[in-house]
Each structure stands twice: as C-alpha cells, then as structure tokens.
Amino acid sequence: THNGDLDFYLVRGKTYPLEKVQEFLTRATGHPMPAEVDSAAIAGLMDLLRTSGSFALSLRYVVCFGLPSSGMDGPESGGPPLPDMNEYEYVANIFEGALEKLYDSYNTEHSFGDEEEQEEADVESPEAPAPAASKSGGLTLESIGASPEGRAKLAEMVLAGLESEYDAYKSKASTKGAGKSHTDMRKSFPFAAFVPFVDSDAEKGGSSLAALANATVEAFFYNDLFHATKTFLSNAKGSFGLCTMSTLDADRQVCIAARGQPMSMAFYPKKGIVCYGSEQAAVKSGLNFPTPGGDMDMDWAKGREQMSLRLDLDDLGGEICLLDWDTTPGSYPMSPPNRHLPVQAVVNGMARLVLCQLSRVVTFDRKVFKRMTLIEGNEFVKPLKDDAPDEVLSDIRDIPKICSDIQEDWLNIGLNRMTAWHLSRCISKRLKDHVEGKIQTHNGCVDILLTGCEV
C-alpha cells in the first residue's frame, strides 16, 4: 500500500521519470501495468528488488539494476532487449548446480568461520557468522550467505559454469549461427539473451561474467524484504508512506516506511494486535477491537509490557520499520548487510522490530520504547467513536458540542493557553529584537512561519 507520489527512480546514476519507469516495468516483468498509477509502479519495482532465495529473480534484478549496462532504456533507445523468465530460469540452473556441488564437495567437519567464533559473534556485526550453521559444522544456506568466503566460493563455482555456457554460445554462433539474428539465436540458445549484458570482448574492458556471478550471488543472499524496501527508498524520488510485503514473506514479515508522508504503528500486547496507518487516529482502532476469549495472558507482564503504545516513524528524514513474527531462537530477521541494526522485541515477544533511519535529520534513542506514545489510559488519546448510520449528519450535530469544548478548554490552563502564551512571548521577543536592531531586515525576511501537515 502506498500514500504519496513516486516521481522519479535512479538507476546507475541516471534518473528516469515515472512514465519511463512504467514502460520499463512492462518489459522487465513481462506483464502489462494493472493500472496507470504510481502505486502499481512501486509494486513492480519491489517485485524486481525482492529476490532473496531465488536465483532466477536475483538474475533478473542484476540484469535490470546491477550491471554497467543496466538501465531502463528500451530497445528503441539503444538498450538491449531483456531476457524473459524462461531464460532467467535456464541460467539460474547453473547457480543451482553450483550450490549443489558446493554442498557435495564440502567437508561436513567444519564450516565457513570457526565454530567458537560463531558462538561468540556479535549479532550486530554485518558479517556475523550465521547461527543457523549446524552444531556438527554442517553447511547451510545461512552459513554461506553470512560468510564472505562462502559467497566468494559459490560465485567462483558459478563463474566456471557461466564461462562454459558463454564459450558454447560463441562456438555455436560462429558455426551454426552465421546469418542468424540475435532473436533467432535466443530461440535455440537461451544464454544468448544475456550476451549483450556480459559481452567479454577485450576492447570492451574484459569479461563481466564475474560481475554477473558475484552480483547475483549477493542478491540471492541479501535482497530480502527489508533490504529491498531500503534500496527502493534510496533510489526513489518523491513522498512515501509505504507498507511493503511479499508472498515469500507474508506469513512472517511486513515493512512500514515513511518519507515525506506520516506513518504510525500501534502495539496492543493484551490483544496481540499491531495496527498501522498513515494517520495517528487510525491506529487507535485497536482500542475498539473486541477479542472475546482471545486476550493474551498478561498476569506475568509488568510496566510497559502491558501498555498499548504508538510508534510514529520519522517522516522528515525517512525511516523504515521491519516487523517480523519469526521468533525462532538464533534466527535473524534481516540479511547480513543490515545485521548491525538493533533488534527489539514487541507485543510480549511475539514479534521483533527493526528500525532504520535513512537520514539523521533527527536523532532518536536506540531504545524504541522511549519514542512511543501511550495510547490506553492517556487522557489526550480518546478511543474512536462507534460508526453512525449517517456520518455526515452525525458530524453536523457534533459541531455545537465541539465549539463549546474549544471555548471551555480556553477557560482552563490547558495546552491551548500554554501554547498561546509561549507564542506571544516569541512574538514579543522578535519585535523587541527588531526595535533594538538585532535583526537585519530585507525583502525575504520572515518573522512568523506557519506550517501544517496534510491530514
């Protein structure tokens, strides 16, 4: 889901407008745009970016974004035609075969990195050895992905397969492919679709097969939901209140992100509910949500563990929040490059939360609970009212009471009067500084700037 505007997207130093992005996505995914809206384009980009665990999807990501020849220009602008999914799957089999050979040839008496180091490794280190490696030292996907040595070994084995495939293509092209177009060669030799991206002529700077192998292996282990969301926001231009999820992670993960648009989350430990929305008032719906017979056992909980709390993301500098329900001991909620970020338990340990600020415009406490706002039992946060049969008529009837409440609030020493008093002091000081000549006035001088947030 998306609230905001996607205006441009950056690929390899070149900025593309939304219209160009939409054209590219049709070619890259092999599917027409479901609707000519920017939210559909964001979904398409996330589909290309979220690749962890699939070599075919990782290959597609690298061809589209990860090579010097990558870009969103189509064949009409001089860009090479993109492979289709069958061709990605064909080359992905080389990666699968290399991974199987790595397992078969590996000595099960040891793993990448010393086992004692695995037990003592700092979980916040980006390259921390994987806890998922078996106690016997057996090789796992996690131990390969978390180790630079493991990833390099796999890429080296893949490169041998790619070079063999490339040589076979060149041989076939020189003997049986004479006079055939590139399109015709693709029909009989799927690897031909990748040749424009990995041409190894010496005059073009040498082979980029190694770049294809290394980047694809990295994307296979790195590009999970959190990393994909982070990559998208790093390259996208516009305003975003995002919720991203993938069918590959929908059972356990969701990412909430804000930049230029507000996003809030509310945690209700007793009910076992997490709400999110682009308006603070919306996440109060958990207060009205009945859970008959489903309330969590909270007899053991103390203090903040029982509280219903709201977290507002930093929409000024940009912030991403990962919520992960996989609380398996020793597992990581995100891939190696983001494991330096602190992981914090929420909803009585039923979920894990990871926060990442995109820009340090505002500095927050590392302990997320110090940023949260109490929802339940807070006199300034009222539950949502029950739905009325006629909402417009209900709002009209509420006007007299609302006006009366405003007048009454000004009679007491509340927030309104305190704010007005503080504003008057600021204006008085500003006027005094003008009189005393402490402020240099010019045509662009601003004394009072009123700002507001779209709601």
Alpha-carbon span 256 to 242, nearest angstrom = 6
Query: Which two three-digit tokens encode residue 415?
Result: 């927030």
Q: Between these two residues, 404 and 131, which has the higher pLDDT value?
A: 404
User: Under the phi-then-psi rule, with left for phi > 0, alpha for psi from -120 to 50, and beta for the rest, what region is 205?
Assistant: left
What confidence score (pLDDT) does residue 10 get?
97
User: DSSP code of 383?
Assistant: P
H or E segment at 309? strand 309-312
**pTM of the shown model:** 0.80
Predicted confidence (pLDDT) per residue in 260-275, tens digit:
999 999 999 888 899 9
pLDDT at 398 over 90: yes
In order, the DSSP letters of 198-220 are H---GGGTS--HHHHHHHHHHHH
Query: Which two three-digit tokens encode residue 299?
Result: 């007899």
Alpha-carbon span 41 to 39, nearest angstrom = 5
Q: Which amino acid is at 243?
A: C
Nearest to 53 by CA among 94, 101, 96: 96
Nearest to 226 by CA among 293, 139, 322, 362: 322
Section 276-303 average pLDDT: 75
Alpha-carbon span 217 to 240, nearest angstrom = 30
The position carrying tokens 């600021």 is 426
Q: How far apart are the first and last CA of the chain?
A: 17
Q: Among the listed ranges 140-144, 184-188, 302-306, 435-439, which one has the minimum average pLDDT value? A: 302-306
Q: Among the listed ranges 108-117, 296-305, 348-357, 418-427, which one has the minimum average pLDDT value? A: 108-117
Residue 277: pLDDT band (50, 70, 90) is very high
Count the Cβ atoms, other than its own, within 10 Å of residue 236: 22
What confidence score (pLDDT) does residue 136 get?
42
Predicted confidence (pLDDT) per residue in 318-342, tens digit:
999 999 998 888 889 999 999 999 9
Is 285 within 8 Å of 344 (Cβ atoms)? no
> At 213, phi and psi to the nearest 5?
-65, -50
